[in-house]
Structure 1
């Protein structure tokens, strides 16, 4: 964990903040995209914090060329940013989202982790993958792709080549998940999680990544809140999507409605 951990201080006039992650947006998921757009426009909040894996793949900001799915996302975010404060923290799928796209979208970047100071409490925000320490292969991969030299070399490749490499990496990841099964997929390390919370003097961690929404008590009266992933396109399962809404009264889960 980097020191010192950055802090985001909620202005006093904010009354509600939505926190969400793991939408895994792509052009082939129109219903999930529509649900996200509807929620961004209609949620009765002053701020929305996106904790990573908003996009299924991100191969560079130059992918947001005119007419592309990425450009459509930028236009949506830019429109919403006129009425709501928007924040983005990278995940393991979209860690290459860069300053050009965020500036174009009216979105502010967050480091992983960041402490949100809001409503008299300190909330530690993270995508979550950095704390999945049992998965040594993934942690080695994460160190590689988060290295600035690796990213510079990757982004120097032609866009089509980057898309092909990212597609292969995604296929490898999906194959690993199928082989391990859901129960074998890594979760956050309890000791490291508690260490992060104590170091940041935060009472609760909010994270995504694991696709296991729930609320878990920790020692010292601390808590871990896990965000839901989203999927409104799978014909074999009921629509799925939640946000965590933070207000002065506390934190609660809000089910995302399907736009009519």
Structure 2
């Protein structure tokens, strides 16, 4: 499984992994929450188009790239194999980084290797263009949702994951379908959506020596001023099946961070 520094407990400060951008990088694209599945062909095509055209040297996929992931042995099935082929092709012209989200935390080393992606711990400090940027999927900081935090701690445990992965693939797919249905039912009630805890964000940023955090998960793209010069930048989800379609990314350059609408 991918390392997850925050899994030990949402209230505790995690260890912060670090990644230094090579000196020749000029543009870095950051995106999340594509929720790719066989039901989202337009979103898949939007990703394929962007990976084929972007001028960025690196693309960071910050979680929930897949609507559900039930184990790396699923990567040989038709839709998953299509995703592998797309990412492997993209990895030949740019560097791909993957951080697990709450839907695809079971992406493991076999999938990463086949796609040519490098796994990132959550959280990771990206040192680029003379600044330190704190990258996270974001779900570990939604502290008001205590039921989710208990669930998150359970499913991120090695014992739970080992027990799930020991089940036949068909059974895991059914479990994933049930979990997805429960999540969609909760999302239908917007009042149940917890945002990131502002004080916890400030604590993480100060501990990591960063002034800005970039995350996804909430599907609420905007910039938040946390005070004392601290900010958090929220990535958009992607849904090119919707009317109107939506999807954007954040592009990091030496000149700063810019939101780019793709839909």
TM-score normalized with structure 2 length? 0.94
Any idea what the Cα deviations from partners look like across 1:172-227, whole Å, max 9, x if unmatched? 1111222xx22431100011000000000001000000000000111210110000
- Identify the residue that residue 102 of structure 1 maps to in structure 2: 112
Cα distance in structure 1, aligned partners of 2:181 and 2:82: 25
Match of 1:72 in 2: 82
**Structure 1 counterpart SS, 2:150:** helix
Residues 141, 196 of structure 2: 8 Å contact kept: yes
Q: How far apart, CA to CA, are the structure 1 residues paired with 2:51 and 2:190?
A: 30
SS in 2 for 1:64: helix
1:241 paired with 2:251, answer no
Partner of 2:123: 113
- 1:27: which partner in 2? 38
Match of 2:141 in 1: 131
Give the C-alpha shift of residue 64 in structure 1: 1.0
Q: Distance in 2 between matches of 1:228 and 1:3?
A: 25
* 1:1-260 → structure 2 map (5 Å cutoff): 1=6, 3-65=14-76, 68-178=78-188, 181-234=189-242, 237-257=243-263
2:186–2:192 CA contact under 8 A, matched in 1: no
Cα distance in 1 for residues equivalent to 2:219 and 2:95? 25
Q: CA deviation at 1:3?
A: 4.9
SS in 2 for 1:108: strand
Count of equivalent residues: 252
Structure 2 gap segments, 5+ residues each: 1-5, 7-12
1:177, 1:21 → 2: CA distance? 17
Q: CA RMSD in A?
A: 1.0
CA distance in 1, matches of 2:143, 2:57: 34
